[in-house]
Amino acid sequence: MSVLLTIVASVVIIIGIVLIVAAVTKSEYNVGRSVIINKPQREVFDYIKYLKNQDNYSVWAMMDPSMAKTFEGVDGTPGFKSSWDSSNKKVGKGEQELKNVVDGERIESELHFIKPFDGRANAHMVTDAIGADSTKVNWGFSSKMAYPMNIMLLFMNMDKMMGKDLEVGLQNLKKVLET
């Protein structure tokens, strides 16, 4: 009986420690990357404001070119929604809604991941003119993990995991716009 009691007490203590650590662990994360594109800001912005164009540069869109997609609204304007459903588990099922457009400068959208996990994230793309024919594009994501799942942020480097995909996507965008 004392062995069983020791095992139960140990499990309760471990669970308690995990819950306490999760309570003091950050729950939010931000990931961002940038690229310089040798095109005028207006031209770059007028391309990235359309969510449908992400099929031409986003790593996630390219993982499954045959995924089912639906669109609602007027692309490039707040309220436009792009939905996807893929058999590829890395792509999954979800939707992206354009929330805000600051003409010539910034787009903001909300992502709702449905499968393989439920989650939400905010995304943005910002263009800054650094010359008459040169534009810096910043692409970023921010999200939050609910307690106690936020403890996974201690073991997952979201910047490293997602940053690589953002870098490849931005390089693809550069190629598309410069050729």
What does DSSP say about strands 106-115 and 93-102: parallel, antiparallel, or unpaired? antiparallel
Question: Is 72 contained in some domain?
Answer: yes
Q: Which domain holds residue 93?
A: 28-178
Question: Is 3 contained in some domain?
Answer: no
Contact 82, 99 (CB under 8 A): no
Where do the DSSP E strands lie in 54-158? 68-72, 81-85, 93-102, 106-115, 119-131, 134-144
Residue 30 has pLDDT above 80, yes or no: yes
In the chain, the number of structural domains is 1
The reported pLDDT for the residue numbered 90 is 85
The reported pLDDT for the residue numbered 55 is 93
The reported pLDDT for the residue numbered 43 is 97
Contact 145, 8 (CB under 8 A): no
The CATH number that applies at residue 162 is 3.30.530.20
Report the alpha-carbon angle 28-32-121, nearest 5.
Answer: 45
Query: What percentage of the chain exceeds 90 in pLDDT?
Result: 64
Residue 160 has pLDDT above 90, yes or no: no
Q: What is the largest CA-CA distance in the chain?
A: 79
Instruction: Provide the whole-model pTM.
Output: 0.84
Taking the C-alpha atoms of residue 56 and residue 29, their distance in angstroms, rounded to an integer, is 27
Question: Is 18 contained in some domain?
Answer: no
The reported pLDDT for the residue numbered 147 is 80
Query: Predicted confidence band at 105 (pLDDT cuts at 50, 70, 90)?
Result: very high
Question: Is 103 contained in some domain?
Answer: yes
More confident residue, 156 or 44: 44
More confident residue, 120 or 1: 120
Question: Is 6 contained in some domain?
Answer: no
The reported pLDDT for the residue numbered 124 is 97
pLDDT tens digits for range 49-65: 999 999 999 998 899 98
Mean of pLDDT values over 133-149:
91
Question: Is 85 contained in some domain?
Answer: yes
Query: Predicted confidence band at 1 (pLDDT cuts at 50, 70, 90)?
Result: low
The reported pLDDT for the residue numbered 173 is 98
